[in-house]
């Protein structure tokens, strides 16, 4: 089990250490856990965790918050990292902020595709305006 996450601003300990301590408290064997604490974002979580797999061909599952699974799997796909995802429960009061954050993150991640699609969708509108101006 790779517990991935560095220490962000305002955090007392790295995310990987917090997860490690939680898993220990639930009886997980410490020999079955590896901490990855260099990453600062999901993309790095995936990159650095993949390095720790060292070519193993085991199945990989990403476990993250429910709202984050889609973008995490999309980032994994962009890295050609085959895995499945599982989402954990999220407190209801985090939901709106979390979904907004994920939406902005997804748009930022796919802005080129979004711009092309928007351009294609706007072509009929521009043609209509041009035809109207010619009359």
Report the DSSP pairing between strands 61-65 and 2-4.
Answer: unpaired
The Cα 39–Cα 62 span in angstroms is: 15
pLDDT above 90: residue 32: yes
Q: What is the pLDDT of residue 85?
A: 95
Q: What is the dihedral of CA 9, 84, 19, 14, to 10 degrees?
A: -20
pLDDT digits (tens, 9 = 90+) for 64-116: 988 899 999 999 999 998 899 999 988 888 888 888 988 998 898 888 988 99
Helix (H, G, I), strand (E, B) or coil at 10: coil
Q: By the 8 A CB rule, do 51 and 19 touch?
A: no
pLDDT 10s digits, 47-76 = 999 888 876 667 889 999 888 999 999 999
What is the pTM (predicted TM-score) of this model? 0.74
**Residue 62, Cβ density class (10 Å: 0-12 exposed, 13-18 middle, ≥19 buried):** buried
Q: What is the DSSP letter of 92?
A: G
The number of beta carbons lying within 10 Å of the beta carbon of residue 83 is 16
């Amino acid at each position: 089990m790779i517990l991935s996450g560095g220490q962000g601003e305002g955090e007392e300990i790295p995310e990987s250490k917090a997860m490690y301590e939680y898993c220990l408290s639930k009886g997980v064997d410490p020999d079955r856990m590896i901490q990855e604490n260099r990453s600062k974002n999901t993309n790095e979580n995936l990159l650095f965790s993949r390095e720790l797999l060292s070519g193993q061909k085991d199945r990989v599952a990403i476990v993250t918050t429910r709202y984050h699974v889609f973008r995490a799997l999309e980032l994994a796909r962009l890295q050609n990292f085959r895995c499945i995802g599982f989402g954990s429960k999220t407190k209801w009061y985090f939901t709106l902020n979390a979904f907004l954050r994920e939406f902005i993150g997804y748009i930022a991640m796919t802005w080129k595709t979004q711009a092309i699609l928007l351009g294609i969708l706007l072509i009929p509108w521009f043609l209509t305006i041009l035809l109207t101006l010619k009359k």
